[in-house]
Structure 1
Amino acid sequence: MLQVANGPKNLALLTANGASIRRHKYFRDLRVFLPFVVLAAALQVATYLFIVIRAGRTDWGNMSTVLAFTAAIPLIAASTLSAFRRHEAPITVAVIVSMVLTAFVVAFLSAARIPLSYTSLMWSLPVFPLVMAYANLKFHQSVGDRVAILPFDRAEWLQSVLGTNVPILSSHDVDFSNVDAVIIDPREHLSQKWLEMLTRCHMSRVEIIPWPLFIETRLGRVDISTFEIAHITYSPSQILYMRAKRALDIAAVILTLPITLPLGCLVAIYILLKDGRPMLFVQKRRGYGARSFNLYKFRTMYNGSSGGSTERGDKRIIPGCHVVRRLRLDELPQLYNVLIGEMSLIGPRPVAEYVERDSIAVEPKYELRTLIRPGLTGWAQVTSGYAATVEEELEKLAYDLYYIKRISFDLDLLIIFRTIKTLVLGKSAR
């Protein structure tokens, strides 16, 4: 029989000593989805009823059948999505699952010759994939409340980062019935010394997560001290998306020109009237492959103002241009940088050459930000905000490296939504 850790305990004895095999946590996982399932079902039912009643429908039997099926779709979708916790594309998967289930239900009801209001379905069902996409994103980001840390030399530091509600286990004899996941240090715990305990975790269906991966999942950033370029291994879907990203950038710039071009002209005219020429501010920035390029912005400070970081209420800013900066309208000329391939819509924000030089002097891994095209907005911008010092730049580096490692269509969608939220709330604008 299989021996564990070269000791007398085999798998049967481990089971007898507490490594009981638990049932899957499907119902507990579904609790994450429950509020969104109720919301999606309520919206679908309310919208469908509002439209059919206004149309004068009175066949309540048929309508009740349709409503029961459509209200059940979110629950079925949640049950399906709960099996894909570690999928790298939670938004895309949720939308696909929702659309397939919707199509199946509509086809089934049509085949059963139950009268349907396709107009009502058209208005009631589109909101469902969006709600489920958001729900699945929340589920994907959650690791579970009941996590614990196996002891190692940086365990207390990790606890301070994650919060004191994450306990550090103190002995090998642990009851795993109240633990969903254990956080390990790969170099310390993937050894014979800990093999017995990790086997018990596996048999008890306790998830084993290396602490750098847990930080990525929970906090959306990498640990710079342990990050290596070898950690960037792109999947086929990531490679395909990165090839398509350039075409998407060009299409987005061209399609938004009817909005961005008039706005840019208005900003340029306002600056010209307030402080004359030049309307544009040009600065050398570091781009893809650490190559320098000219980044264009609308000039929002008085002519002759000194450079450097801005502060709230900065007197160097032209009156009225606080709003321009808050809404990021000063960034509109960078659409030209995107169009000619020097930038992307989404990526690590390009920094001035002196900022990069000072940051690399402290942390050489800072140069890894140039592995992909810089962006108008990025994960660090919507997560950690404005950086005025080298220390803050290195804090943002953890988020930029996370983006470079995890780049995907889903992550870019999330960045777009968060960018819109930032613009609406006016955060991080100075």
Structure 2
Amino acid sequence: MGTKRDNIVRPINPASFHAVETGSREHIPGCLSIDFSVAVVLPAGGSGERTGLSTPKQFCTFLNRPLISYTIQAFERIAWIENIVVVVAKNSIDLMVKVVQQFGHKKVKVVLGGSTRHRSIFNGLKAFEEREEDSALKKPKVVIIHDAVRPFVEEDFLLKIAIAAKQQGASGAIRPLVSTVIATTSEGYLDHSLERAKYRASEMPQGFLYDTIYQAYVQCSEADFEFGTECLHLVLQYCGTNARLIEGPHTLWKVTYKQDLFAAESIIKETLAQTACVVTGLCEESTRLAGALQKTLGTQDMHVEIVPTKLRSSSTFISTNWNFIHVTVNSACLADLEELVKTFEETAHSVLYSVVLILVHLDVSEQPSASETMAALGGIRNLAAEAKRRNILLYGILLNHVKDAEQWEEAVENLSQIIASLIKERNPVLTGQLLWA
């Protein structure tokens, strides 16, 4: 959740995704067991006109990945969600299929959308009624409808929505109104305003008994299909089912405008930057520097773990980290970096999120030679170019050891600032560069 540095409510740390995918829900206080089938429909056929971009916002890319993929993953990593139907416009079918394949989404079926939001959602629901042998989906007890451009929904809230939908027939997220709602006259003057405390904004996700929402759509009028947007209203009007409304967290916000894409990217960067792993050898200087980095980076709200070189290929620490600092003394040890890059590739660890790998080369020789050091590290540029194609960002930092305690402390602090900046910004332009700390 949020850090003490600001009031932004953050999504679940990506480092916890591995644990969530095992199906354990012990991390959710008072969690009830899901003993019924749940599926998701994601309408993603919008044109994104309000962003002012030529690409629909759900396909806009940041950190080498389209927005829709982040939203899909938010559901896919939850063990009790069985299927995700993504509904897209005809001209986006091939692109959506490519996204599913490229980022390894396993629970997704892509469906052709309609000319309006309600028609698209209905098409998504009808996918569960199809009986083609090669593409049949199991009809769920509960279906969750969510916007493709709300990527930060979390499991504990989805659990509340699903259980309320099972018990009540329908459920929906609400949030307090941020602004006062007013009515205007035809001449453009104030008519009246609503008392904000009495009203709420209807948000997503919304959950329904599948049969209830499906029957509501079967009975819909053409006017509903053409102009309606609120699914909760349909089940109330046509099925007499009054939804249970649940106040949702701040993370349910929707990417609507261009600046929202930058905000989403910033949140993900901040979340990825909360942890790091220092891979260190057994020599005294390497161990001491690793400890110093753990301390200084910790003052910047980063949790740092130290792992010996012999464990650098361990799947346990790799699966829960996206930032690695490899400390070497005197020798460049590019072979160790190559092994780490290979491990990331074999485990597909960098498919969803970019991995930052920083080589910190500590020179403890009495008379360090810049030319010799540069020659030893010359191969980092080629390795970085190869790694970047696999979404691995490799950087190099040179640090000369100094005996004066005060100067050494200042050098380590400067090194930590550079490392923290590289991890937070994840700038691909600087990969392969050798920086001096």
TM-score, with structure 2 as normaliser: 0.23
The structure where strand makes up a greater share of residues is 2
The structure where helix makes up a greater share of residues is 1
TM-score, with structure 1 as normaliser: 0.24
